[in-house]
Structure 1
Amino acid sequence: MEDFLSRVLYFAEKGYPLPVAYKKAKEVSRSVKDSYELARRLILSYYSLSGKSYRKKVREFLQKGVRIVLPEWFERELDGIYDIEKLKDSFLDRVIWIRVNTLKADEDKVIKSLENEGIILEKDKDIPYAYKVVKGDIRSTTEFKEFKVIIQDKASMAVIEALKPEKGELIFDMASAPGIKASLIMALTDNQSELVVSDVDRERLHKEIKFLHDVGVNMDKVHIIHQDSTSSSVIKADKVLLDAPCSSTGMISNEPTVLLKLTKQRVNELSELQKNLLNKALSISSYVIYATCSLLPQEGEYIVKEFNAKPPLSFASSNSLGNRFIPYLHQSEGFFISKVSG
């Protein structure tokens, strides 16, 4: 086990997301059952480990167990906004949310089939098509493998609830990859909205195109642009979704390697990019939904405060500038969502 976890840690430090680091470690070292959860907790404990080598860090972790320590500057930024201890505790939980892909299947039939397979679900009270997985491995089901079920966090679905897509609208998704939100837009409009998707990363865009095709999106209704959206070629749209590139600190529970890459300088760089993207979005439409999967106000409230911003949702926490999903309150990833106009 020490060898295997040491390799996971090595690949995580090299910048690989946890699922990739885990897979690479498995290719060269034997793993044991349930070792993914152990690897996740190891990365969450990274800043509590004093060992100089990977092996010493792993040995300390196996002896002392999980102890979540955040980078000092990061904890200072969060202090006063969140209950830090509750936030740390929430990182230990992995809450999985799903929705039925109505472009490929009937919701009632899929839910009944999943329940017959032993998957226990809890229907959400805020978003009618959102379900929390209470028990069972959703990824092992036929429904998941056939794209009849899509794993999507509740907060991510809430972004599209805020957008309120309608049939016939031209909607511009400025930073669209990997395409989960774009697919929900098309599902909610029965493939009858016009969607422009763009991303600065060509490889991610190619993966998004394949995903949208696999989940049943009518690709005749989708216009694909490889671009830096700060200088977008799109001139006008009915609505703009800006799910902006961010620090991803809202998804630490599911992707703890975020902590290894997190620096104050990087957050400042992302904040500047977010401001530029938002200014561009507002030149394209007067209806903009701005969202980030971030716990930091530098990527949320501080970005939208210079504009006419308000919370678009009647659920989740809210302030005068937007809604916040807080992991320990909402059993979701951390998100900021705002409706912005110039």
Structure 2
Amino acid sequence: MNASNTRKIAYDIIYDVKYNKAYSNIAINKRLKKSDLDYRDRGFITELVYGTLSKLILLDYIIDVNSSISLNKISKSALTVIELSIYQIMFMDSVSEFAAVNEGVKLIKKVDKRASGYANALLRNISSNKGHVNLENIRDKAEKLSVEYSVSKYIVSRFLRIYKEEFTIELLKKLSERPKLTIRTNTLKISSMELEILLTKEGIEVEKSSMIEDAFYIKNLKNIGSNELFQKGYFVIQDISSMLAARELGAEEGEEVLDMCSAPGGKTFYMAQMMNNKGKIDAMDISEHKLKLLSGRASELGVEIINIHKKDATVFDEKMLAKYDKILIDAPCSGFGIIRRKPEIRYKEYLDVKDLPLIQAQIIANAGRYLKPGGTMVYSTCTLEKKENKDIIMSFLENNKGFILENMKELYPNVDETDGFFIAKIKKER
């Protein structure tokens, strides 16, 4: 495929995420699934989409200080092309500045021809000053970090309130890096040793995790969805932090387990694996579409003990009272711990997350009632926001007697080399 076409696909995805509230991973998969692109073009589009979406605040700052007109006067179409073109100029060594400018102007002519002259002049000006971004004029600490790391000022302000400035900067740096690709062996079908041999034969670099015995960090895996080992259900893509949450629950053979917010299913599948496909897991979720995907993947993995239920976890169900030995609550959250995986999360504001603690509190309250006496539940999130983590647990324990906090941990990308994650293990007294 020629360069202009790949950039147009990237533009369409970025525009969809920015202005139609699409999820970046779903939008990319949807577009690439329909195409016959080779792995190089797929890689280029993926890097351009994720890279641009991960630096929007910085890119807009660069535009603003170099532009003769204000940002709000630039059309959405033209602005998106300019952003993805500047990202190539500033951050993609594999693309020449000439190509970035030239292809950007070609694309502008397709989506907003009137802006082509302005865009051409702006991109050439920025290209001539490549690498020079002066943030010294920004006096406000949170705003400066917001621009530098392209994270909303609201999120930066929350981090600065929760953590020390030095730790916040280290965290923001790590959240700006590409995460490792981590997989977990599906031991229902294959051993870790056998999987490692098969992956290595395909030219995939494999590094064992020191935290989870069946997990690997891998490189050079192209077109994951079409990989034969993946299709056979030999491995699952899952971060170490997610695996640790499932392990903390410690589901065992023969138990009756509830996964209250189960989609997309990574933790559900891991619990079934730990249970050796013996027992029962009720997997709940509010999204029917996500549950269908979960069901299909469960079949590929050879998981046979999952019963799927479309349910709202915030609504109490009397039939489930004191029914479960163990419960996993992977609560809906702000996702501040995984912004390097889902760049649209970087730009969340207070209004996007203000209602989450109320939802989380209702879900954990219901879980407490669903748990058998003597049972265990784990509450986890992929955020670093205390209001959604420790505060939820402390409030639950204060308002529900007969529960004991057995363990509580926070995982940080800059400390633990995992996603940002929170895990709390609670025991119900007999």
Same fold (TM over 0.5): yes
Question: Cα gap change, 1:324/1:4 in structure 2, threshold over 3 Å: closer, same or farther?
Answer: same
Match of 2:163 among 81, 105, 108: 81
CA distance in structure 1 between the partners assigned to 2:250 and 2:427 by the alignment: 15
Structure 1 position 10 matched with structure 2 position 15: yes
Q: Secondary structure at the match of 1:290?
A: strand
Q: Secondary structure at the match of 1:271?
A: helix
Structure 1 position 54 matched with structure 2 position 80: yes
Name the residue aligned to 2:106: none
Note the C-alpha offset of 1:210.
1.5
Residues 16-54 of structure 1 deviation map (CA, whole Å, 9 limit, x = unaligned): 2223333566679x9675231232111110122325322
Contact (CA 8 Å) 1:294, 1:334: kept in 2 or not?
A: yes
**Residue segments in structure 2 that go unaligned for 5+ positions in a row:** 64-70, 72-78, 93-147, 398-402
TM-score normalised by length of structure 1:
0.88
Q: Over alpha carbons, which structure has the higher Rg?
A: 2
Greater percentage in helix: 2
Match of 1:246 among 329, 333, 336: 333
CA distance in structure 1 between the partners assigned to 2:298 and 2:277 by the alignment: 11
Name the residue aligned to 2:48: 38
CA distance in structure 2 between the partners assigned to 1:239 and 1:20 by the alignment: 31
Name the residue aligned to 1:21: 27
CA distance in structure 2 between the partners assigned to 1:105 and 1:241 by the alignment: 26
Contact (CA 8 Å) 1:97, 1:132: kept in 2 or not?
A: yes
Q: Percent identity?
A: 23
Contact (CA 8 Å) 1:11, 1:24: kept in 2 or not?
A: no
Structure 1 position 290 matched with structure 2 position 316: no
CA distance in structure 1 between the partners assigned to 2:393 and 2:313 by the alignment: 18
Note the C-alpha offset of 1:340.
2.4
Name the residue aligned to 1:303: 392
Contact (CA 8 Å) 1:119, 1:138: kept in 2 or not?
A: no
Question: Cα gap change, 1:20/1:160 in structure 2, threshold over 3 Å: closer, same or farther?
Answer: closer
Question: Cα gap change, 1:136/1:203 in structure 2, threshold over 3 Å: closer, same or farther?
Answer: closer
Name the residue aligned to 1:126: 211
Residues 137-174 of structure 1 deviation map (CA, whole Å, 9 limit, x = unaligned): 48264211211111111000001110001111111111
Name the residue aligned to 2:292: 206
Question: Cα gap change, 1:143/1:246 in structure 2, threshold over 3 Å: closer, same or farther?
Answer: same
Q: Which amino acid aligns with 2:376?
A: Y
Name the residue aligned to 2:190: 105
Q: Which amino acid aligns with 1:49?
A: L
Question: Cα gap change, 1:144/1:340 in structure 2, threshold over 3 Å: closer, same or farther?
Answer: same
Structure 1 position 330 matched with structure 2 position 419: no
Output the aligned Cα RMSD: 2.4
* Between 198-207 and 82-91, the greater mean CA deviation after superposition: 82-91
Question: Cα gap change, 1:309/1:59 in structure 2, threshold over 3 Å: closer, same or farther?
Answer: farther
Q: Secondary structure at the match of 1:229?
A: coil
Structure 1 position 272 matched with structure 2 position 298: no
Structure 1 position 69 matched with structure 2 position 150: yes
Contact (CA 8 Å) 1:179, 1:208: kept in 2 or not?
A: yes
Residues 232-272 of structure 1 deviation map (CA, whole Å, 9 limit, x = unaligned): 43222111100011122222111112224x22123221111
Structure 1 position 257 matched with structure 2 position 267: no
* Between 58-67 and 147-156, the greater mean CA deviation after superposition: 58-67
Contact (CA 8 Å) 1:309, 1:338: kept in 2 or not?
A: no
Note the C-alpha offset of 1:231.
2.1
Q: Secondary structure at the match of 1:231?
A: coil
Contact (CA 8 Å) 1:249, 1:334: kept in 2 or not?
A: yes
Note the C-alpha offset of 1:112.
1.3
**1:129-148 equivalence runs, <5 A:** 129-137=214-222, 139=224, 141-148=227-234
**1:152-163 equivalence runs, <5 A:** 152-163=238-249
Contact (CA 8 Å) 2:211, 2:240: kept in 1 or not?
A: no
Question: Cα gap change, 1:277/1:94 in structure 2, threshold over 3 Å: closer, same or farther?
Answer: same
Note the C-alpha offset of 1:190.
0.8
Note the C-alpha offset of 1:9.
2.1
Name the residue aligned to 1:167: 253
Higher-RCO chain (CA-CA 8 Å, sequence separation at least 6): 1
Q: Which amino acid aligns with 1:227?
A: K
Question: Cα gap change, 1:141/1:170 in structure 2, threshold over 3 Å: closer, same or farther?
Answer: same
